[in-house]
Amino acid sequence: MATSHPLSAPLTFSPRLKHYMWGGRRLTDLLGRDTPDGIVAESWEVSGHTSEPSIVNRGPLSGRDLPGLVAEYGVSLVGTRGGEAAERGIFPLLVKLLDATHALSVQVHPDNMYAAAHNLGEPGKTEMWYVLHAERGACIIHGLQAGIDRAALRRAISRGTVPDCLNRVPVEPGDAILVPAGTVHGILSGVVLVEVQQCSDTTYRIHDWDRPGPDGRPRQLHIERALDVIDFSGAVPAPAAPRLVGEGRGVTREVLADCDEFVVERVGMDAGCDFEARLDGETCEVWGILSGSATLEAGQGGGLQLRSVAFALLPATIGRLRVRAGEDVVALRAYLP
C-alpha cells in the first residue's frame, strides 16, 4: 500500500507557553485551555521562531519542529508566495493567543527594511489583533495622538508623560486591529486576543508604566531604537472595518487585515454548512476555530476535528480543502498575499 506524503494532512502543534508578568489565568478560565498553574501570558500556537518553535503533535511528522519542516520542504509547505522566506528557512507567520490581565508595555516594532539594514537576524514585525474577550471599558493603544512628532515624544519620555501622547481605542469582542510596523501600540488590561504576525520577536519598549520587572528592577527600555523606527507621518491609525468578500450557502467571509505580509479573513459558518477551497502551491493557510466546532477535510489526511479555540496549519500543496461546520462556527483564516 502506498503511503501518503507527509504534507498531505493538516498539521497541528503543541502550544508553547510564555509566562510574562502581565498575563493571568484566562486562557484556561475563558478559553478552556489546559495550562499549568500560575501566570500564562501567551500561547504560541503556530510558530517557526527559533526561540519557541512549534512541535507537531499528531500524524507522521509528530515530534518535528516547524523550522525543520520549512528547511526540508520549503515552498511545498509555505507556498511560492513565501519563497523568499522559505529560502532563508523562515516560516513567515506566527500565531499567538494573549491574555492581557495587566497592561503590556508601550512598544513599537521595526519594519523589514530596518531589520535588514541593522542585521537583526529576523524580519520586521507587522501584526494584527482579533479580540476574543474585553472587559467593560477595555482599550488598546494604537498610534500616537495627532501632532506628536519625534521631538514631542522625546520630551514626553524625558518628563515621564508618555501616556498623554497615546491614542487609546476602546475594543469589544470581534474587533480586529492591524498594527503595521512602526506603529506605537500596547494592549491594555482586560483583553484576550489572537495575534497574527510576522515571524519576529524584536520589540522596542518606550514606556512600561513605571512598574518593576520580575527581578524587582524596571525593565529595559529601548528609546533610541524606538525613535528610529516609529512612523511619525502624522496619521492617527484607526481600526479597519471588515470587508465582505463572500456570502452564501451559510458561509460568510470578511477580510479583516490585508497587508504586504499577510491576509486574515473571518469566516462565519452555519451548522452543517461547508467551506471549500483548493491549495495548489501558492500559499499555506492557518485556520483557527474561535467558536463552535468544525472538521477540516484536506488532502489525504481524512478529517481533523477542531473545537474552539484551536489552530491548524494547511501546507500549500495539500490540494482540496473542505471545512465542515458541526455547529455554528467563527474562524480565522490567515494566508500569504
**Which residues belong to the active site?**
205
- Residue bearing cell 486574515: 264
β-sheet bridge partners, residue 244:
254
Closest CA to 182 of 261, 110, 105: 110
Q: How many angstroms separate the CA atoms of 133 and 9, rounded?
A: 31
β-sheet bridge partners, residue 97:
43, 194
- Residue 1 grid cell: 500500500
Cis peptide before 309 (omega within 30 of 0): yes
β-sheet bridge partners, residue 278:
320
Q: What's the Cα-to-Cα distance from 172 to each of 25, 129, 168, 217, rounded to whole Å?
A: 20, 12, 13, 34
Q: How many angstroms separate the CA atoms of 194 and 99, rounded?
A: 9
Closest CA to 204 of 187, 228, 177, 232: 228
Contact 100, 110 (CB under 8 A): no
- Which residues, in sequence order, are CB contacts of 22 under 8 Å at separation 6+? 41, 100, 101, 102, 103, 104
CB atoms within 10 A of CB 297: 17
Q: How many angstroms separate the CA atoms of 52 and 301, rounded?
A: 26
- Residue 14 grid cell: 503543541
CA angle 49, 267, 329 (to 5 degrees): 100
Residue type, 302: G
